[in-house]
Chain A
């Protein structure tokens, strides 16, 4: 046993590459079996005949992929992409000021940061439920509005697209704040001082210095909001009721009540393609940004 260990150690010692492969192997095999291969199976399932009890029959068909372009499903895809884009934009509008305030704070910095990190770690389900509690017909907002006399009948807020949007934005704001905060913190204050010394007013310093230099954080944060928003089904399910169906809900339905696994797989592939397009766009943007620009 000891001899085996010495032999192994010698072998590892001799080749750092061999050592790296041995260390990577367990995680690599695990992710291959439980991530890559299942995704591959999903890709093949999209072309299989449907089994009514869930699962598939042997053989091949393109009916599910063709079905994807039916207007009924294209509308859902369009709605999902649109809602996710708007949620990302709103999250950015909320997050950038928060990140700025944290960076500028001195005494309260740790606390302000903690208040962003806390919801980041808090159960998404609990936070969504908290939103229901607040905006439902008999919730606090409606109660206050009625007490003040602004409205007579409770305002319908729950089960609307607006509720889903609110849930997505507040749900993912921490994911946006943290990358922006990280890039703001790395920003060299000397650059802003130089701009100020050269007479640039505050808004100009922001537009010409702060914004371009924190763009990587903005892009990273936007991806962290856009991707989970696009694939979400919990938010739309709980805050949108059955009324605001997103592509995530559609996938979920195929694997639960509808029992149409191949069509669900086809929908998943479509969702994955949209996400990958977003990722590639981000990589391209990163590349053009890191290239030094002249003349501006």
Chain B
């Protein structure tokens, strides 16, 4: 009896999570504009996307911002994780606790505080400010992900390399880095997704001409429900699914090896 109630609640949960997205995807190939009725299959809305020059420009901006912010956040994050993940001093534990502060700070506050900083130092809002903002909110996440990987790693392999006569640098390059790679890739994927999806912080730190895809979608959604938005959303959902499948493939237990 209890099991049945649990199952029913879980099914309701899954339905509420996925039904809107499924209907949206159906709506993107539906002739009917409102999507309330099935009027036949069409790719018209996707065809119209190709003519939306602003969307292509925004996609380019999103990709540039995502890639640069990911490189910065993953690079700085990996270095910091190496310091935090290997040592368990009181101070590193304090630093770890401090890392949670940017994570729990509401995005709207992070956004306005960067806006205030940029305007105080006279920086024009543009590509650079968006990249800085994105790298900043991704950084604590990349540190935590790489650190988790470092903690789950079999450290005896490094000891073995050292015992077999490899110097510290060789050990780092040939043993530590390859073992750490799944964590670094996971961190980079997380950073890129966070950046690509971000709306709130970008809203405050982007200038005219540097709208990312979410900003343009927001503008379209606020105005009206258009089938082209359905098509664009469907593409984003499909893209996320593919990326996620690739990520899972990369982080399967066989590849990760010693990961706990």
Contacts and interface: CB of A to CB of B under 8 A. Distances in A.
29 contacts: A23-B80, A26-B80, A30-B136, A30-B139, A34-B117, A35-B136, A39-B113, A54-B119, A97-B10, A121-B243, A121-B244, A125-B217, A125-B221, A126-B21, A126-B233, A127-B21, A130-B21, A133-B24, A133-B225, A140-B23, A140-B36, A174-B17, A228-B106, A231-B108, A231-B109, A251-B108, A251-B109, A265-B116, A279-B104
Given A97-B9, A129-B24, A228-B106, 9 more contacts: A19-B83, A24-B84, A41-B117, A55-B119, A115-B18, A134-B20, A139-B35, A227-B106, A234-B200
Contacts of A1: none
B233 to A, nearest CB: 4
B170 to A, nearest CB: 12
Contact of B76 (A30, A39, A252): A30
A68 interface: no
Contacts of A255: 112, 115, 204
Contact of B108 (A55, A97, A122, A252): A252
B79 A227 contact: no
B175 interface: no
Interface string A233-271: 110011000000000100110010000010011001001
Interface in B81-129: 82-84, 86-87, 89, 92, 95, 100, 102, 104-110, 112-117, 119-120
A97 B240 contact: no
B200 A233 contact: yes
B77 interface: yes
Contacts of B214: 123, 125
Contacts of A136: 225
Nearest to A230: B106
A155 B65 CA distance: 42
Contacts of A31: 102, 136, 139-140
A171 to B, nearest CB: 10
Label chain A's interface by main secondary structure.
helix
Interface string B191-205: 001001101100110
B168 interface: yes
Q: Which of A26, A98, A125, A237 has the most CB of B within 10 A?
A: A125
B76 A268 contact: no
Interface string B209-243: 00000100110011001000110010011001101
Contacts of A23: 79-80, 82-83
A212 interface: no
B146 to A, nearest CB: 11
B29 interface: no
Contacts of B87: 16, 20
Q: Which of B12, B23, B112, B225 has the most CB of A within 10 A?
A: B112
A41 B214 CA distance: 28
B164 interface: no
Size range of the interface on A? Answer: 35 or more
A227 B2 contact: no
A13 interface: yes
A124 interface: yes
Interface in B1-37: 2-3, 5-7, 9-10, 12-14, 16-21, 23-24, 27, 34-37
A233 to B, nearest CB: 6
Contacts of B140: 31
Interface in A201-222: 202-203, 206
Contacts of A251: 108-109, 112
Given A231-B108, A231-B109, A133 B23 contact: yes
B229 to A, nearest CB: 6
A131 B218 CA distance: 14
A31 B140 CA distance: 9
Contact of A9 (B19, B119, B168, B200): B168
B55 interface: no
Interface string B157-177: 000000000001100000000
A265 to B, nearest CB: 7
